Amino acid sequence: MQAHTVKRQTTPRAYKSRGRLRKLASQYQLILMSVPFIGVLFVFHYLPLWGWLMAFQKYSIPKGIMGSPFVGFDQFAELLADSRFYQALRNTFAMSGMSLAAGFVCAIGLALLLNEARSMFFKRTIQTIVYIPHFVSWVVISNIVIYLLSPDHGPLNELLAGLGAVGEPIYFMSKEKWFWVIHTLAGLWKELGWSTIIYLAVLAGVNPEMYEAAEVDGAGRFAKMRHISLPSLLPTATLLLILAVGQMLSTGYESQMLLGNSFVMDYSQVLDLYALDYSLSIGDYSYGVAISMFKSVVSIVLVLGVNTIAKRVGQSHVL
């Protein structure tokens, strides 16, 4: 009797799991094919997480992960108590935010305008010209920017002096408050052309019948841009925004390190530079891991946040 009940209870479950198994079995080719890639993901993205242990230790290389003493949350406490950390955090958010905003608006704008260009030759030429800086390294870009803005016969100062706008040449690179703007503009110049590529591709895929229908309805160029081109771009733009927000804290330090100098240190130091200065360059790996863990957590929160907002307003979302 008892055995009977047990059997009756388990039967539906068994059916269910058998159903799942059958489904899996019927897709075994696909599953097998994905194994190597999941393997790669695991080896390169999950195995290294083992190293996060360091953040809770006073890690020293001779002792290794197994031998270093555990210190609990000391590293994080130190991090959160350091005023320079907040400064770096502020700078990172400010510069990433400015680059993100400027990059989005300008790239979409440029894509819309290029899409309207009638002459193919003109369009291609402009595209090529705006792509070029993307392939130039930050070292070169920063030298060009510093030269352009130099108070010692730099072209911009010569121009301003020629126009009679300034008496004394302006030392742009020494102005603390201008650093964010200079950095954003330099980044915009470097990456603008490159980031229009996706938008142009999307615009090329818009069904021409929609434009024709709009024309029949009497829509002009601007109306078509506003009501057809722009809405077609939005799903892609949202997707890119979500991805970009996830990267906000790890935009690298190259540009800030190369453009920055001792005058603007308070405004140019970003998290990655902070991590480099206070952990790698002085051999304090635990602190570096703590910083990178902090970054990961904030990034996940940001991505989830933007994703939720995108879902609410009915745009495309990643997760």
Query: Footprint of another protein on this chain (CB under 8 A)?
Result: 29, 32-33, 35-36, 39-40, 61-64, 78, 84, 143, 146-147, 150-153, 169, 171, 173-174, 257-258, 260-263, 265-266, 277-278, 280, 282-284, 287
Nearer to another protein, 282 or 301 (CB): 282
Nearer to another protein, 139 or 243 (CB): 139
Distance between CA atoms of 319 and 303, rounded to whole angstroms? Answer: 9
Distance between CA atoms of 135 and 260, rounded to whole angstroms? Answer: 21
| Residues facing 105 on adjacent strands | none
Structure token pair of residue 223: 């109306």
Nearer to another protein, 56 or 179 (CB): 179
| Residue 257 C-beta: closest distance to another protein, Å | 6
- Yes or no: say if 211 and 224 are a contact pair by the CB < 8 Å rule: yes
Structure token pair of residue 185: 């503009």
Distance between CA atoms of 75 and 61, rounded to whole angstroms? Answer: 17
Nearer to another protein, 116 or 277 (CB): 277
Nearer to another protein, 142 or 229 (CB): 142
| Residues facing 110 on adjacent strands | none
- Yes or no: say if 108 and 233 are a contact pair by the CB < 8 Å rule: yes
- Residue 21: exposed, middle, or buried by beta-carbon count in 10 A (0-12, 13-18, 19+)? exposed
Nearer to another protein, 239 or 257 (CB): 257
- Yes or no: say if 59 and 286 are a contact pair by the CB < 8 Å rule: yes
Structure token pair of residue 216: 């029949």
Structure token pair of residue 95: 């510069």
| Residue 48 C-beta: closest distance to another protein, Å | 13
CB atoms within 10 A of CB 301: 10
Nearer to another protein, 103 or 288 (CB): 288
Distance between CA atoms of 72 and 68, rounded to whole angstroms? Answer: 12
